[in-house]
Amino acid sequence: MNNAHGFPPEQREGLYRAIHERRDVRSQFLPDPIAPDVLARLLRAAHHAPSVGFMQPWDFLVIDSIQVKRQIKALYEQANADAANNYSDERAALYRRLKLEGIVDSPINLCITCDRQRGGPHVLGRNTMLETDLFSTCLAVQNLWLAARAEGIGVGWVSIVDPAQLAQTLQLPEHVQPVAYLCLGYVSQFLPRPELEIAGWRSRLPLEQLLHGNTWGQPLEDEALLAQVRTAAEGH
């Protein structure tokens, strides 16, 4: 097998380590500032994400104002109170015990937005899937998240907030949509497993149950691949 373009083993392991040890951080933020050169590396990583038609629909709002953070925290508290009403009994009690944001605790908040007009009315590759601008922006989020893990910086995605109110608070233009409101900072630890899994909210689904062969619902017939998937699951 010709693998001339593969990374050296230690670099490959570093990438996979970042993927598997990435966490959605809520409770472990430290107040230590993020140095400008480190934050710049994270932003560059995000900006080098793939995008359909090379539209690059993202912008980055770097938020360090405590006043703005408190405004966002108020939006979160309102939305979180509404979300808690979706559950009852023990599930409701568990939900209310979960810490689901680090807005004020983290030194930097970052809102990654999607400019839905960037690239003009006809973007290459977007004719049949208009949401590809949003998908592309999510790839920028993932790039930043993995780079942050490699830098030892935690990231927490605050999704429990009304997007229209968030856009108004951040004074976004009408055609710009907030996609991810992130909390960034150094942490006391990266948990060994996702926090929601540790808390008993949900567990990771077995990969083997999510594989299909050729069409939906058909078994995967590649036994060698299935064996490797099972071996990896046993290893974790």
**Ramachandran region, residue 138 (left: φ > 0; alpha: ψ -120 to 50; beta: rest):** alpha
The alpha carbon of 109 is separated from its chain's Cα centroid by a whole number of angstroms, namely 13
pLDDT one digit per residue (tens) for the chain, 236 residues: 778 999 999 999 999 999 999 999 999 999 999 999 999 999 999 999 999 999 999 999 999 999 999 999 999 999 999 999 999 999 999 999 999 999 999 999 999 999 999 999 999 999 999 999 999 999 999 999 999 999 999 999 999 999 999 999 999 999 999 999 999 999 999 999 999 999 999 999 999 999 999 999 999 999 999 999 998 876 55
The 3-state DSSP class for residue 110 equals strand
- Nearest residue to 109 (alpha-carbon basis) of 121, 101, 119, 99: 101
Q: Are 181 and 210 in contact (CB under 8 A)?
A: no
- Domains in the chain, start-ordered, CATH in brackets? 17-203 (3.40.109.10), 205-236 (no CATH)
Structure token pair of residue 112: 């990654």
- The whole-angstrom separation of Cα 126 and Cα 52 is 7
Q: Are 69 and 63 in contact (CB under 8 A)?
A: yes
Q: In what order do the strands lie in the sheet with 58-63?
A: 58-63, 108-115, 176-186, 153-157
